[in-house]
Each structure stands twice: as C-alpha cells, then as structure tokens.
Amino acid sequence: MMDIDLKNENAQSFSEKLNIADKKELSAIIQNFFVEAPREKQDTLMNFANELREKYYERKVYFRALLEFSNYCKNDCYYCGLQRSNRKVNRYRLSAEEILACCKEGYSLGFRTFVLQSGEDSYYTDALLCRLVAQIKESYPDCAVTLSVGERSYSSYQQLYAAGADRYLLRHETADEVHYRKLHPSELSLQKRQECLYNLKEIGFQVGAGFMVDSPFQTYETLAADLIFLRELQPHMIGIGPFIPHADTRFAGYYKPTSHRTLVMLSLVRSMLPKVLLPATTALGSVDEKGREKGLRVGANVVMPNLSPVAHRLDYSLYDNKVSMGWEAAEYLPDLSRHLKTIGFIPDFSRGDYVDLQKKDETL
C-alpha cells in the first residue's frame, strides 16, 4: 500500500504519487482525509495544494461572469432542481438581446470571461447559439466565451467552436457507472457524457469536467474513480462543489451539506493536476459563509460571480439556498476584488486561460 505519511513528502512528490496511485490507494487517501487525518495532516495537504497552485498561477484569482440564460431543461437528473419534471420551477429564457446587454454590463465591470450556462434547452439551436457567440466575440474580441449548455453532437460542438467559443464546461458528475445510474434516468449515459468531454477536447475547447461531493450513494471508491477519470481526461478546468439537496427532488432532506469534504477534494485535485483552473464554486459558498475563501486557500483560483438578471436569479435553483447576492453577485465585483486583496490574493482581470495557453503579453 502506498505510503501517505505526508511528513516524508513534499508537494511535488505527493503530486507524483497521486498521479500513479491506483483506485484502492486513492480511496484510502480520500477516506483518510475525510475521517481520520489529524488537523496537522489536513493542513499539510492544503499547504501542498497552495504551493502547487502558486507555482503556476501565483496568488492570482481569475473572475468569470456567470450568465444563467435559460433554466429550461430536457433532462431529469434526480439531484437537480431544474429537472424537467419539477413543475414548481418558474422557467425563463433570455433573448439574445438580453444576453448581450448582460455582457455589456459585465464588460464594464471588468469581466473578460463570460460563462453562458443553461439547462439543456433545445430552443437554443446551433444557429442561434453560434450567432450569439459570434456577436459576443465581435463586440468583445478580448474576452473568452465559455459555454455550459450540456450534451450536444460533435458537429454542434464543432460549429460552436468555429463561431468563437473558447471553453466548455460539462461536469461528468460521477465516473462510476453504478453511481451514475443512481443519479440519472436511463436515457442518460456516463459513456455518452465522457465521449462529449473527449470530443470537446479534440475539437480544441479548453474543457471543464467536475463532480459534486457527497452526492447520494457516493463512496470513497466512486470519488477515486472521479480522480482517475480526471487524470485520464486532463481537463483544463474542474468544477467541484458540495451536493446540496433540493426540496423538490427525491433527495430532499437527504443530507445536511458542509464544506469540509469539498475542501479536501479541491486540495487533492489541485495536488494531482497542479495546472488546472479550479473554481471556488457557488455551491461551496452556499453551504459555508466562508466557503469560497476557504476554497481559494486550498488551491482554488477562480470565482464566478453571477451576472444573470436579478429578476431571474432565484429561478435558477439547482439546489436549496443557492446564494446569488453579495459576493456571489457580479455587481459586487469591486468589493470582492478588494476583499481578495486583503486576504492575500491578486485579483486578475485578464481572460485567465489555462497556464500553458496563456499568451506571453497577458502574463507580463
């Protein structure tokens, strides 16, 4: 069994070990940090994660403006508040004009990445989305556009990339087949999802995968499978947040979420894939007032304030008590930026690409 006594490790050697550990060893490492490891050891892990983040990104924090432009979804994922069978959701869709108006506001606030996220909504055809992406890129050629609109065909992804989209977020949710089946209806498949991620990468997108921590039926083994999948995919971005039960789903009241295990997974992921862009997610900020700050301290380096029109923010309810005001809100960017400085981070208003893809002049 792999030795995980961190006293005899440095950040680099720990990173190397995580990259060759097998599933059993990874499960044991995760279990150890979740339930047994003394404070001191937890701190060592978090310090390793920090050190590795600083090696590639210094203490920079990148900002992304998150635009939740439609909460219609044709899928019925059991954990998600926006699942199609939830009749209580007040569904909305933003028009291209409304989305462009948001981008305008975001640009003037200082954002240089727009993340366009929605449920899987067939209303937004390839033609419509491509036009929208092209318009945004034309108005703001110095900005990156990230799409997060679910599973689509290879050709659709190709067209979106050709239209100018730079990045794509599609969490794999869980890399364990049995676990995947417990969270999704039969028409969805893990294989298809993973295929989408590989397609996106092949086409040239900077790709984000990711998963929830403490989702129903998750085990140390399924989390180990997540790490192994991420190690194989080598995504540029990884979204990790706590699972938070939604009252109108079958998992209502399933669990009272906390931030600790998400923080452990963030530090393990940062240690295993040191160059990855890692957001301190809204979900993390929703379960712990200081969650986002804690996330940044354990290796996260991205925040995604909400730029959606205030009138619709509460309708994008993936889970209960989702925060969308205060520091989660794009309008508070100057406040957030100031606060990040006081706790030792460097707010960075560049596009914030994956380190190997950053243009020289951007880092000067």
Name residue 347's beta-bridge partners. Answer: 61
Residue 140 is encoded by which pair of tokens?
A: 């703001």
Backbone angles phi, psi at 248, to 5 degrees: -95, 20
Note whether 319 binds ligand 5AD by CB under 6 A.
Answer: yes
- Minimal distance, residue 195 CB to ligand 5AD, in Å: 17
Looking at residues 68 to 87 of the shown chain, list those that interact with ligand 5AD (rule: CB under 6 A).
Answer: 79-80
Distance, in Å, from the CA atom of 259 to the CA atom of 42, rounded to the nearest integer, reads 14
- Minimal distance, residue 103 CB to ligand 5AD, in Å: 20
Residue 350 has, within 13 A of its CA and on its CB side, a CA count of: 15
Sequence-ordered strand ranges (E) for the chain: 60-63, 65-70, 113-118, 144-148, 167-169, 206-213, 237-242, 302-303, 346-348
Tell which one of 55, 84, 171, 181 touches ligand 5AD (CB under 6 A). Answer: 171
Note whether 168 binds ligand 5AD by CB under 6 A.
Answer: no
Note whether 283 binds ligand 5AD by CB under 6 A.
Answer: yes
Residue closer to ligand 5AD, measured from CB, 33 or 79: 79
- The span of 86-94, 106-114, 216-224, 239-247 binding ligand 5AD (CB under 6 A) equals 239-247
User: Positive or negative, the Cα torsion across 287, 292, 294, 298?
Assistant: positive
Residue 286 is encoded by which pair of tokens?
A: 């929703």
Distance, in Å, from the CA atom of 79 to the CA atom of 128, rounded to the nearest integer, reads 29
CA 49 centroid distance within chain: 17
Note whether 167 binds ligand 5AD by CB under 6 A.
Answer: no
Note whether 288 binds ligand 5AD by CB under 6 A.
Answer: no
Residue closer to ligand 5AD, measured from CB, 44 or 286: 286
* Total interface residues for ligand 5AD by CB under 6 A: 12
Site for ligand 5AD, rule CB under 6 A: 79-80, 171, 173, 212, 241, 243-244, 246, 283, 318-319
